[in-house]
A = this chain, B = another copy of it.
Amino acid sequence: MPASSSAQPTKERILGAAEELFARHGFEGASLRQLTAAAGVNLAAVNYHFGSKDRLIEEVFRRRLDQLNGRRMAALKDIAGQPGSTIEDVLAAFIVPALELSHDGNGSLFMRVLARAFAEHDDTLRKFLSENYGHVMRQFTAEFARLLPNLSKEELYWRVDLVTGALTHAMSGFGMIQRKSDVTEHKHREQTAQHLIRFAAAGLKSP
């Protein structure tokens, strides 16, 4: 049983600080000493609770991706296979849950961590992401294929890859661009989603 002295248990404090420092300085750039200092816990706590730095990195991913992809799959399930659904609907199911992460503490920082992992072509990390969350992209791709029946397999993959790159880049910047003070955060997120959906839909449907 945990015997936490602070409001948040040690494990959560470490994960929170890790998310922030990994986003800001990268996986190799953020040391466990900075990290534990920022979390206000002892240096040895990381290895005690997670086993190693690499396992901590995996946990940072697992925690957010479970909720992110859970919501993505739930949103996709509502429209997949339905005759009335559109490309824009599928894109919304992919984008909106990601933008909603910014609600959740410093969850918006996680998209920056994800963008980093995207740019790193590190084999270990790619394998981990592919094994644990590959089915999500496969489901979305299948739905795009259904709604774009005229596209060859090769064309489809190209476009999905380009959309993924654009959206990951854009969403990693969300939360850094300051919204005007006269729009609510909800409105701002909605406008951002509309920008991304319109752009991506046009690219996917291009002649």
Which positions in A face B, CB cutoff 8 Å? 23-24, 26, 28-29, 112, 115-116, 118-121, 155, 158-159, 161-166, 168-170, 172-173, 176, 195-196, 198-203, 205-207
Contact = CB atoms under 8 A, between A and B. Distances in A.
Copies in the complex: 2
Contact of A199 (B29, B121, B159): B159
Nearest to A114: B119
A120 B199 contact: no
Pairs A-B, 8 closest by C-beta atoms: A165-B169, A202-B206, A166-B166, A119-B119, A203-B203, A28-B28, A199-B203, A202-B202
Contacts of A119: 112, 115-116, 118-120, 172
Contacts of A24: 121
A161 B195 CA distance: 11
Contacts of A165: 165-166, 168-170
Contact of A162 (B115, B116, B166, B206): B166
A169 B120 CA distance: 11
B201 A162 contact: no
